Structure 1
Amino acid sequence: MITAYRDNGEAVVISAATPPASLPSDVVWIDMLRPDKAEDLLVEGFLGIDVPTRDDLKDIEPSSRLYTAKDAVFMTASLVCKAESGQPELTDVAFVLTKGLLITIRYEEPKAFALFTAAMHRIPGGCTTGTVLVTRLFETIVDRTAEILEIAVARIDGLSLQVFGERPVGKRRPPHYLEAKLMDVASHHRLVAKTRDSLASLSRVLTFLYTVPTVQEDKDAKELCRTISRDIQSLSEHASFISGNITFLLDASLGLINVEQNAIIKIFSIAAVVFLPPTLVASLYGMNFDVMPELKWTFGYPMAVVGMVISAIVPYYFFRWKGWL
C-alpha cells in the first residue's frame, strides 16, 4: 500500500491499479507498506530511483544500509515492533531522501509510524520538506523506543516483586512457580536486547544523516539530529542498566530455586537421620541366629521398640542442637 502525505498532514492513498499521472506538488512523504512489484515500479517511475526491496533491507553491510546514489540518500534502520506482545521483533525500515521528499519502505507496522502520522499536523512549523520530516520521524521513533524501555522497566519491577515479595508465614510457593518466572525473565531480556540492537542501528543512521548536505544546510534539522543522537546515547546506557537488572533477577531466581531444592533435600536428610538408627536396631534383631539371648526374653519386643524410638530421637536433637538441621 502506498500512502502519500501532504505538508499539512493529509493522507492520500495511491493505487497501482489506477495510478495518478503525477504526484501532488505538496506531497512531502511517501510511505510504502508491504509494497508489491507494481507499487515499486510506480514509485520508481515518479522519482527516478531504485526502491529498496525486502531482500535489500536484510543486508547487514553498512555500505548497503547507508549510502548515496543519484542525488538520493538511502538509510536502513532496525526498529522494534510488537513490543507489547510476548514476541518482540526487529523490522528493517528504509528511509530515502530525494527531491525534497521522504520515502519509507517497511514490511511491518512499528507503532512509531502511527504515532507520527497522528501528530504530524501538530508539528511546529509543519513538515514542508523531506529533511524536516525525516528528522521529526526519527525523533518520534526514539521517543517510542524510550517508551518501550519504560514498559520493560515496569514489567521487570512487577516480576521482581513476584519473585522477592513477602509470602504469608508457613506458606510455600506453588510448584514450579519460580521456573515459570524464568520464562518471563527470558521474555523481558528479549525485549531489551531487541531494543539495544535497534538503538545501535539508529545511532549509525543518525550519525550518517547528520553528514547529509541538506541536513547541514538546515539549522533546525541539524540541531535536532544532534539532540536525537544524545538521546540515543542516553537510552543505550539506560538499556545496559536494565539488562544488568535482568541478569541480577535471573541469577537471584536461580539462587532461590537452589534454596528451595536444598530445603527439599534437607527433608530427606532429616528422614534419613530419623529412620536410619531404628532401621539398624530392627535389622539387628531381624537376624536369624540360633543363639540370641533376647529372643527368649519376655520384654524383648517392647525394649527393641523403645531402643528404636530412642535411637531416632537422640540423633535428631543432637543434630538440631548443633544447628545442622
Structure 2
Amino acid sequence: MPSIPSLSALRRGSRSTGELAPVPSPANNSVIVDCATYFDGVRQSSCERPDDAIARVRAHGSGFVWIGLKEPEMADMAEVATSFGLHELAVEDAINAYQRAKIEQYSSSLFVVIKTVKYVEHESALKAVEIVNSGEIMMFLGADFIVTVRHGDHSGLAGLRQDLERDPARLALGPAAVMHAIADRIVDQYLAVVESVEDDIDEMESLVFDPTAILRTEQIYLLKREVLELRRAIAPLSAPMRRLAEMPNVFVPPEIRTYMRDVEDHLQQVSERVMAFDEILTTLVNAVLAQVATRQNEDMRKISAWAAIALVPTAVAGIYGMNFDFMPELHWTFGYPLALVLIAGICVLLYRTLRKRGWL
C-alpha cells in the first residue's frame, strides 16, 4: 500500500509561501457533506470555510461547529486539520479506512472510531453471498467543534443531523451531544442487524434438523463468517464506550456521560447476543458433521449387509465350480435345484436377520 503523506509533510511542501499546500475549497468540495455552526443549539448559516466558522464561534464565545466529511483524502483534510488543530496521527487514521473501534485523546481533541454495520437483504440464508456490510464513522471531538468522517455508503448522518436540529435544547449541550447521538444511533443499528441475523440463524437451525433438507457445512460457515465480521465491529467498541461513560473527560460533560452509560449498556446486550450466535453456529456445524458421519455409518452397514448376503451364492458357486468328479450330490437329479434353494434360503435368512437388527 503506498504511503500517505502526513499533514506535516504537506506543510513542509509549501514552507516557502508559509501556507498549506493548495486544497479544494470546501464550498465546492463534495467531500464535505455538510458544515454548520450552532449557537444555543440553533443552526446558523452554513460555513463556507472551516477556519472562518471556528473563528466565528470563538469570537462569539459559545456554540460549536459541526463538519461532516465522506471518505476524504489527505488534501481534503489538510485545511480542516489546521483550522481545528487535529493531531496528524488521528488525521491519517481518519483517511485510512478499516480502523479498529477505539478512542484516542489528544491535547485539543478526542478521536473516536465506531464501526457501522448494515444488514444485506436476501431471499434466504442458503442463497446469500453477503449478509453483513460494515463501514466506519470517525469523530474529532473538541470543546467547540466536532468533525465527523464516514466511510461506507450506509453510514450517512443527514437524518440524524435533522433530528438533532429539531431539538435545540439537546444541541445546546455542545459537540459531545452530537457524539452521543451518533453512538446511540449506531448501537440501535447494531440491534436491528442482530435481530435480522438471528432470523437467518433460526432458519439455518430449522434446516439442520429437517430430514428432508439438503444442507452443506459451507452454508453455515458463510453465516459464521458474517457473524464474525459483526463481532469484530461490535466487540472492540465496548471498552471505549465504557471509558466514555465512566471516566471524566474534558470534552464530555457529566450529563452526557450519564447518557453514554445507557449506550454502553445496550452495546453490552448486543455483544452478548453476537457471542451467543457464534456458539450456536459452532453447535450447528458440529451437528451437520455428526449427521454426515451417521449417514456414512449407515451406508457402510448397508453395504456390508449386502456383501454378506452376496457371499453365500458366491461361496457355493465357487465350491461347485471346481469341477471335481466326487462331490456331494453332483450327479443327483435334484442336486442343482437343491443348491439353488439352499442359496436362496440362506440369503433370505440373512436378509431378515440383518433387517431385524437395523442394518437394512
TM-score bracket for the superposition, by shorter chain length? 0.7 to 0.9
1:194 aligns with 2:233: no
8 Å Cα contact 1:96/1:104 also seen in 2:
yes
Q: Could you tell me whether the CA contact under 8 Å between 1:52 and 1:105 is conserved in 2? A: no
Tell whether the 8 Å contact from 1:81 to 1:109 is kept in structure 2 after alignment: no
- What pairs up with 1:96-115 in 2 under 5 angstroms? 96-111=140-155, 113=157
Structure 1 match to 2:220: 185
- Equivalent of residue 52 in structure 1, options 83, 87, 91: 91
Deviation at 1:293, TM superposition (A): 4.5
Query: 1:22 — aligned with what?
Result: 52
Instruction: Say which SS state the counterpart of residue 171 (structure 2) adopts.
Output: coil
CA distance in structure 2 between the partners assigned to 1:240 and 1:10 by the alignment: 45
Q: Which residue in 1 is equivalent to 2:33? A: 3
Mean CA deviation greater in 267-276 or 106-115: 106-115
2:139 and 2:149 in contact (8 A); partners too: yes
Among candidates 92, 95, 111, match of residue 74 of structure 1 = 111
Matches within 5 A, 1:1-325: 1-6=31-36, 22-23=52-53, 28-49=65-86, 50=88, 52-54=91-93, 65-81=102-118, 84=121, 86=130, 88=132, 90-111=134-155, 113=157, 116-117=160-161, 119-122=163-166, 125-128=169-172, 129-165=174-210, 167=212, 173=213, 177-179=214-216, 182-210=217-245, 211-215=248-252, 217-219=253-255, 221-325=256-360
Contact preservation (8 Å) 2:135, 2:155: no
Specify whether residues 275 and 122 from structure 1 end up closer, same or farther in structure 2 by C-alpha distance, changes over 3 A only. Answer: farther
Partner amino acid, structure 2, of 1:4: D
Which 4+ runs in 1 deviate beyond 4 A?
Answer: 7-14, 24-27, 54-60, 81-85, 89-92, 110-115, 117-124, 322-325
Cα distance in 2 for residues equivalent to 1:199 and 1:224: 19
RMSD, matched Cα: 3.3
Deviations 1:179-232 (A, max 9, x none): 2xx2232222223222223222221221333332232x341x121101111111
Structure 1 stretch displaced more, 226-235 or 158-167: 158-167
C-alpha change, 1:262 and 1:56, in structure 2 (3 Å) is: same
CA distance in 1: counterparts of 2:274 and 2:96, whole angstroms: 29
Letter in 1 for 2:105: T
Gaps of 5+ in 1: 168-172
Matches of 2:158 and 2:199, distance apart in 1: 23
Task: Work out the CA distance in 1 between the residues paired with 2:111 and 2:167.
Answer: 24
Q: Secondary structure at the match of 2:195?
A: helix
Give the whole-Å Cα distance in 2 for the aligned partners of 1:12 and 1:310. 97
CA distance in 1 between partners of 2:158 and 2:343 (Å)? 77
Return the letter of the residue paired with 1:67.
Answer: E
Partner of 1:194: helix, strand, or coil?
A: helix
CA–CA distance in structure 2, aligned partners of residues 164 and 10 of structure 1:
60
- Looking at structure 1, the residues matched to 311 and 211 of structure 2 have their Cα atoms a distance apart, in angstroms, of 37
Q: Distance in 1 between matches of 2:159 and 2:249?
A: 26
Q: Structure 1 residues 114 and 21 mapped into 2: Cα distance closer, same or farther (>3 Å)?
A: closer
TM-score w.r.t. the length of structure 1 is 0.80
CA pair 224-77 structure 1, distance change in 2 beyond 3 A: same
Give the 3 Å change call, closer, same or farther, for CA 59–232 of structure 1 in structure 2: closer
> Under a length normalisation based on structure 2, what TM-score does the superposition of the two structures give?
0.73
Whole-angstrom CA distance in 2 between matches of 1:123 and 1:192? 36
Letter of the structure 2 residue corresponding to residue 252 of structure 1:
A
Is the Cα contact below 8 Å between 2:144 and 2:175 reproduced in 1?
Answer: yes
Q: Deviations over 1:121-172 (max 9, x none)?
A: 45573534321001010001111111111111100111122222364xxxxx
Structure 2: how far apart are the matches of 1:293 and 1:208? 95
Q: How many residues get paired?
A: 306
Q: Structure 1 vs Structure 2: percent identity of aligned residues?
A: 25
Please say which of residues 104-113 and 139-148 is displaced more in the overlay.
104-113
Structure 1 stretch displaced more, 36-45 or 150-159: 36-45
Amino acid at match of 2:215: L
* Matched letter for residue 151 of structure 2: Y
